Amino acid sequence: MPFIKVETNVAVSDENACLKAISALAADILGKPESYVLAVLEPAKRLLFGGTPEPAAFVTLDSIGLPEARTPELSAAVCGFLNRELAIPSNRVYIAFGNIERNLFGWDGRTF
């Protein structure tokens, strides 16, 4: 059940394509089926990073069994994606990682 949310002050011309790419990124870097990924893209938000409105992003990446030892690698992959796709420098991206316990995440009327 990976969940990825990208909040950015960058306007995105093709939001559907970008959202699909974000979903595929989460599945790929976490090694989970994309059929379980929930992806959210919130472009063109009022967002300041370091007091400036230059391109920036806040990313939430949660998953059951998130590999905490791999967070540096995951961070590099997410930042690389945002730089390539939205021209956001990696030093203007914060990422909040969450390792969610199965019993604390619901789906389909039950928990995992």
Q: Where are the extended beta strands (E) located within the chain?
A: 3-8, 38-42, 57-64, 93-100, 106-107, 110-111
User: Which residue of the set 2, 43, 67, 72 is catalytic?
Assistant: 2
CB atoms within 10 A of CB 85: 16
Residue 99 to residue 74: CA distance in whole angstroms: 13
Closest C-alpha to 81, from 4, 45, 46: 4
CB atoms within 10 A of CB 53: 10
- Give catalytic status of residue 2 as yes or no: yes
Active site residues: 2
